[in-house]
Structure 1
Amino acid sequence: MVNKKKEIIEAIKKYPTIIIHRHVNPDPDALGSQIGLQRLLKHSYPSKEVFVVGEEVDRLLFIGEMDVITDKKYKGALVIVCDTANLSRISDSRYDHGDLLIKIDHHPEYEQFGDLSWVDPSYSSASEMLVDLFLQFPEGFIMNKEAAKSFYAGILGDTGNFMNGNTTPRTLKMVSYLRTYNFQPERIHNWLNIKSKNSSRLQKDILMSFKVTDKGVAYFIITEVLLNMYGLDRIEASNLVNTLSSVRGNKIWALFIEYPTEIRVRIRSRSIPIASVARQFNGGGHSLASGATIHSWEEVDHVIQALDRVCP
């Protein structure tokens, strides 16, 4: 593993052009790791061209904005993909147009890709991985408050404000280091936790109308009609997944969100591993936080039954 990290560090030092990708429908860690890496590298090596690509999410623009680049920029470039477990989820399909491809991810590895790959699910987030990487190999790299802010947002997002089971002593060590930079972390907490009026109204609807099985599997279905009624996009709606976490007796909770060609399922758990269920339905993720994809409302019952089976 140490050799892989050294190879990644040497590749970063070698290439004058670096292009950083991450997954579609980005969350704070996808953007935090991607933009944090860009800011650290541009601060450390001002002569390098370092770009970030992919779609933007309005509510997460406080982390940073994307670059618009031509295909020519990929010629002879190093491409790094952060926080993405499989090829189909990489945002911007040009990831394979560069000279060398590196994968850095904290999800369990179900699809291998990249000329170099560092995958370690023991980390809370890709942001934590990158902070640790540059602390282990500091020569030539200089952290600054803008990079620290992005990495902090990524760690905060994937640990659920440090409330998820993936927060470790190492996570807190990385956070402690980042907090030495004056980027006003309280603002990040506020930005990540703020909700629109319509989102708050849907949250109330979820709490009033959710269903729960005898085993403690709680769930709520968000149709396109409901999204239109509340005037919400799917990303904002999916961020309400932990609404049901505060209800006593709920051991596992899930949101089913309708997309044009599929239904995406966001699943969370208090203490019961759920990743194996997500993998049964075209998904995966972490032990207590996973996602899946189904293609008909009839499959909702199958997902709920599978989650019931893993409840003690």
Structure 2
Amino acid sequence: MIKEIQEQIRQYDTIIVHRHERPDPDALGSQLGLVKLIKERYPDKHILAVGENEPSLAFLGMMDKVDDKLYNDALVIVCDTANTARIDDKRINQAKYVIKIDHHPNEEPYGDLVWVDTAFSSTSEMIVEFYIQGQEEGYTLSSDAALLLYAGIVGDTGRFLYNNTTAGTHRRTAILVEQGFNQTEFYTKLHKKDLKMSRLQGYVLQNFTIVEGVGVMRLTREDLEKFSVTSNESSQLVNAFSDVEGLRTWVFFVEEQDQIRVRLRSKGPVINGIAAEHNGGGHPMASGATVYSWEEADEVVAKLVAVSK
């Protein structure tokens, strides 16, 4: 599969890399890391990254502005996005050829070429494997690209604490660390909190509840306005109370204008089925969903209680 992707990259002069909306470190790390790998291999090609910029992760890189006409003869690669509804920037249908690279369950195998492997911790780890197998084709790994891919792996493994961290993950990560980027500086930027986020974290720790082994936090629009925090920024706190003794699963609800964003996490029980029942999906232990009332949010909590038992 990697050889086929390399062949498509070789054929196209314009390559546009997408990822999912509301990007996390893996979405941006895999997207921008792949862009750098291809640019370093083919400096004369036009390699672009598109989507909305995420201010909290701006230190990883910014997106390009791409004219519609560039898509006509372009190869599009979509990273870390399980379904087309979540792709940030919907112009992929204008492209000549589309490749999907993802580590989520392949519920929607869109595109002309699909490389999906749930055995990888992250899409960034898949891009490291792409580099490993691409060395004989002339691919090199700069410290800048290594840092981006490292960020993605760290993000999706919870700093190597989650059970999706395998021996292979550590071996591939070692290749990245060998490139000599500044890990201390990276972690400082990744976990930096300004005053408003620190105050919101205190509020979360004071106000989350425990329902029969399930941790529950509800952030309303009024809460977000009070702390001047966006829904996206609040995602940094999804694990704020995860280490409380006795929790098996936890859920973070964030009220938006016309929906409630749901972030589900688990230390064992499989919870992506619950997410799928509420307009979402994801990994067995980390998923996202969307509900449209606090009554529906209560249904999610009840289902988490059931699987946690």
For Structure 1 versus Structure 2, the TM-score category normalised by the shorter chain is over 0.9
Cα distance in structure 2, aligned partners of 1:259 and 1:110: 26
TM-score, normalization by structure 1: 0.97
Matched, 1:166 2:164: yes
Alignment partner of 1:179 is 2:173: no
Whether 2:139 is the aligned partner of 1:144: answer no
Shift in Å, 1:206: 1.3
Letter in 2 for 1:259: E
Superposition deviation, residue 74 in structure 1: 1.0
**2:101 counterpart residue number:** 104
Counterpart amino acid of residue 230 in structure 2: D
2:67 is the alignment partner of 1:70: yes
Give the % identical residues: 46
Tell me the equivalent position of 1:303.
300
Q: Is the 8 A contact 1:245 1:270 kept in 2?
A: no
> Is it true that 1:88 corresponds to 2:85 in the alignment?
yes
SS in 1 for 2:146: helix
Alpha-carbon distance, 1:5 to partner: 2.2
Among residues 57, 61, 66, which one is paired with 1:60 in the alignment?
Answer: 57
1:268 aligns with 2:265: yes
Q: Does 1:227 align with 2:238?
A: no
Q: Secondary structure at the match of 2:27?
A: helix
- Asked if residue 30 in structure 1 is aligned to residue 27 in structure 2, the reply is yes
Counterpart CA distance in 1 for 2:188 and 2:291 is 33
2:33–2:148 CA contact under 8 A, matched in 1: yes
Q: Distance in 1 between matches of 2:183 and 2:93?
A: 35
Over 6 Å off, 4+ runs: none
Q: Deviations over 1:121-157 (max 9, x none)?
A: 1111100001112212321211111111111111111
- Contact 2:20–2:81 (Cα < 8 Å) also in 1: yes
Q: Which amino acid aligns with 1:217?
A: V
In 1, Cα distance between equivalents of 2:284 and 2:188: 27
Residue identity opposite 2:195 in structure 1: K
Is 1:218 paired with 2:189?
no
Q: Partners of 2:256 and 2:138 in 1: how far apart?
A: 45
Q: Structure 2: how far apart are the matches of 1:311 and 1:164?
A: 18
Alpha-carbon separation, structure 2, partners of 1:186 and 1:97 = 41
- Give the secondary-structure state (helix, strand or coil) at the position aligned to 2:294: coil
Q: 3-state DSSP class of the match of 2:241? A: helix
Name the amino acid aligned to 1:81: V
One-letter amino acid of the structure 1 residue matched with residue 153 of structure 2: I
Report if the CA contact (8 A) 1:244-1:250 is conserved: no
Superposition RMSD in Å? 1.0
TM-score of the aligned structures, taking structure 2 as reference length: 0.98
1:287 aligns with 2:299: no
- Per-residue Cα deviation, 1:172-222 (whole angstroms, up to 9, x for no partner): 1111000111211221111111112111111111111111112x0110101
How far is 1:105 from its partner? 0.4
Residues 80 and 102 in structure 2, CA contact (< 8 A), matched pair in contact too: yes
Flag structure 2 segments of 5+ consecutive residues without an equivalent.
none
Matches for 1:244-263 after TM superposition, within 5 Å = 244-263=241-260
Check the 8 A contact 1:37/1:130 in 2, yes or no. Answer: yes
